[in-house]
Structure 1
């Protein structure tokens, strides 16, 4: 699989395009819809699905335009479905202009999942937000704003919990193979092993 990372918007929130020779998955259409659509045109593959790691505004700001272009179904946690239209929960009313989405998403539960040509595990990793989902593929994971390169997600936003975040990281993510590459919602990739050894925020 090929992974294309697009840091977009004011917060440089990563949008990921995961592709094979046949099709693609899009994770977190964060901002700058024209950039995402342009890259999808360059790749030239059908999009099997759009995944959201969670629904803070900076992770779905381009969702409506990108979904309309691709025609792909959107998948996320049922815990945060109303965050797409609730600007106090998705944080946009606090930090920027009000950002909402009219997309009607499908919901995912923790466990194995197949969407189109892609098979992966859905891992519920709350703490940064109550419905945060991480997506584990064969040798990499897309972790949203749970675990970063030498950092962790903030817990002072609506529904955040430091105790839950630490549990998600230590009891779920850190149980993965140390060689697993971590593609986070911000910053550059890292590995589970590197974060277990060197992340100063995991206690």
Structure 2
């Protein structure tokens, strides 16, 4: 499995394009969908799904165009099922960055547990705290975790936004992320990648 990183949208949100056996998954297309579409075209990839770690505005700006162009379904946790279409919930209204929304809700509710989509197999963890429907995607075969805005290198997701909760976030990190093998690479929603072991030892928010 190959991983392509793009920094997209108003806040340069990390968007990940996963490539395997001529198929692709996209995680958190925050904007600039043509960038992702061009990469898929260059590699002759068929998009199987659009996975969202959560539905804050800076993670969803490219969703609708990708869905329309590829007919790939969108997956999102049920606790944020109405956020895609509601700027007052996804934060775009709160941050006054203009109306960012989709014309329709997610196609599927993503639930914790084992999933197989096309050539990809992965585990979904419900990791609330930054937002109530935040999830993380663990690809055990590659030993990588896509954590959204739950955990960053030397940091954690902010919890001062509506529906955020600090204690819940710390519990999510401890139960579902720090319990993974220390060599697991964590790909966050913003900033550089890190490893579980490094964050255990040096992240001041977790020590």
Question: What is the TM-score when the length of structure 2 is the normalising length?
Answer: 0.95
- Please say if residues 82 and 105 of structure 2, whose CA atoms lie closer than 8 Å, have aligned partners that are also in contact: no
What are the ranges of 5 or more consecutive residues in structure 2 without an aligned counterpart?
none
Residues 1:198 and 2:194 are matched in the alignment: no
Give CA deviations for 1:89-139 in whole Å, capped at 9, x if unaligned.
110012110111123320011111111111100100000000001000011
In the TM superposition, 1:49-88 aligns within 5 A as 49-88=49-88
Does the residue aligned with 1:34 lie in a helix, a strand or coil?
A: helix
- Kindly report the root-mean-square deviation, in angstroms, between the aligned alpha carbons of the 2 structures: 1.0
Whole-angstrom distance in 2 between the partners of 1:32 and 1:195: 31
Residues 1:100 and 2:101 are matched in the alignment: yes
- Could you tell which deviates more after superposition, 95-104 or 47-56? 95-104
Give CA deviations for 1:68-89 in whole Å, capped at 9, x if unaligned.
1111111110110101122121
In the TM superposition, residue 10 of structure 1 has moved relative to its aligned partner by 2.3
- Please say if residues 21 and 119 of structure 2, whose CA atoms lie closer than 8 Å, have aligned partners that are also in contact: no
Equivalent residue, structure 2, for 1:133: 135
Does the residue aligned with 1:88 lie in a helix, a strand or coil?
A: helix
What are the ranges of 5 or more consecutive residues in structure 1 without an aligned counterpart?
none
Whole-angstrom distance in 2 between the partners of 1:72 and 1:128: 26
> Which of residues 166, 169, 173 in structure 2 aligns to 1:165?
169
In the TM superposition, residue 2 of structure 1 has moved relative to its aligned partner by 0.5
* Poorly superposed stretches of 4+, deviation over 2 Å: none
Does the residue aligned with 2:93 lie in a helix, a strand or coil?
A: helix
In the TM superposition, residue 22 of structure 1 has moved relative to its aligned partner by 2.4
Equivalent residue, structure 2, for 1:43: 43
Question: What is the TM-score when the length of structure 1 is the normalising length?
Answer: 0.97
